[in-house]
Amino acid sequence: MRKVLLVLLLFSALLNAQTVQYTMPGEDMPHEGTWLQWPHNFTYPPYHQDDNESAFVEMVAALEIGEKVHIIVYDANEQTHVQQALTTASISLTNIDFFIHPNDDYWVRDNGPIFVYDANNNLTILDFGFNGWGGDTPYSLCDTIPSLLATDLNIPVIDLSGFVLEGGAIEIDGHGSVMLTRSSVTAADRNPNLTESQIENYMTTYLGLTNFIWLDGQFGGTLDITDMHIDGFAKFVDSSTIITFNNSDLSYWGLSNADIAALTSAINANGTPYTYVTLPLTQNDVVTTWGNNIQFKGSYTNYYVANTVVLVPTYNDPNDSTALSVIQSQYPNRTVVGIDSRNLYFNGGMVHCVTQQQPEFYYHVSTLEENNKNKKLVRVIDVLGRSVIEMENQILFYIFEDGTVEKKMIINE
């Protein structure tokens, strides 16, 4: 009987063992484009769109130079409105397209599609459950966005609605590590029927995550309906560097001493301790453009890394320039662009919260060589038009003698 029981236990363990089937690339890897969900007045009062639209226009202006910008709009009239707003701002629409789908709000990081690669490096959309941050806001329209876009794009979609997960609740480095808080992932208002182990299994299988840096976090009530999303105070620069606050500011943000210790002593998937870079909070409490004092300092860690730029929230604060300088030092090959986020912050988020990356389609060097074996290569340039000698993980443009140009994402093996 004991031998039979042992065999059954081993068999059960094998059935429950999780393997990586899909991987989510890091935000700093080459993008095909960035997704935005444009603010509108169909869910909230009329000021909602007017007070936030300027930040979206600023983001599009910075992004469209280096990648496509995919904009989700509520209806055809909203599309016309957005096109006019961008044209008025002298922004070319060449690199911009629109997808009409009714939605509740503009926090596409949390409700939008999460793009991953399958085992054959094909893009796949993950459609996690979205319940309005634990039922705090209307969400039924936003919850359908990933599956609708999968149909639009003709990209396979995986229904993971049994697991509620907001994109801003996880911060990944693209090399197997993830930072996250229990308060925004494992809580009773998100996933009451899943154990932490089951949640990790989901993330291993569908996101390629194997190294979990868990913080307890804190329930935010009506002041922070995200319940302490990780992207408000910590971010991976790369697989060996975390950018966050100093301990005093982490405490101000609401982290416990135990969480501060866990964050500042984390190790990566290779077992190596991280290097830490610290950003300030704003010097003053954030005040909206219409003069409303939010009575809380602003975070600069909620930035977004695009192909050629890094979009950083700014607040018309003396510490804006310091934060921009620190972030620029971490991304020397990209241009840091400040985005006025005072009004976004009043509504509960910042730049990272309203953006979502779509990774570039995956090509190998061997594939490129096979497709062009009869052509003479004249020059290779990057997205900024600079000649390239070493082909690292990036978007490159191959210029051939016959005048053809091919855009490829090169991943060395």
Average pLDDT, rounded, for the chain: 88
Task: Look at residue 18 and tell me whether its pLDDT is greater than 90.
Answer: no
Record the tokens describing residue 300, joined without a space: 């600069």
Task: Look at residue 15 and tell me whether its pLDDT is greater than 60.
Answer: no
Task: Look at residue 169 and tell me whether its pLDDT is greater than 60.
Answer: yes
pLDDT at 336: 98
- CATH value of 31-359 in 3.30.70.20, 3.75.10.10, 1.10.238.10, 3.90.1170.50: 3.75.10.10
pLDDT digits (tens, 9 = 90+) for 79-138: 999 999 999 999 999 999 999 999 999 999 999 999 999 988 899 999 999 999 999 999
Specify which of 231-235, 364-368, 402-406 reaches the highest per-range mean pLDDT.
231-235
Percentage above 90 pLDDT, the chain:
78
d(CA 165, CA 315): 29
* 8 A C-beta contact, residue 346 and residue 288: yes
pLDDT digits (tens, 9 = 90+) for 324-368: 999 999 999 999 999 999 999 999 999 999 999 999 876 444 445
pLDDT digits (tens, 9 = 90+) for 185-220: 999 999 999 999 999 999 999 999 999 999 999 998
Domain range annotation of the chain:
31-359, 366-411
* CA distances (Å), origin 260, targets 30, 171, 217, 246, 323: 32, 16, 10, 9, 21
pLDDT digits (tens, 9 = 90+) for 247-296: 999 999 999 999 999 999 999 999 999 999 999 999 999 999 999 999 99
pLDDT at 395: 64
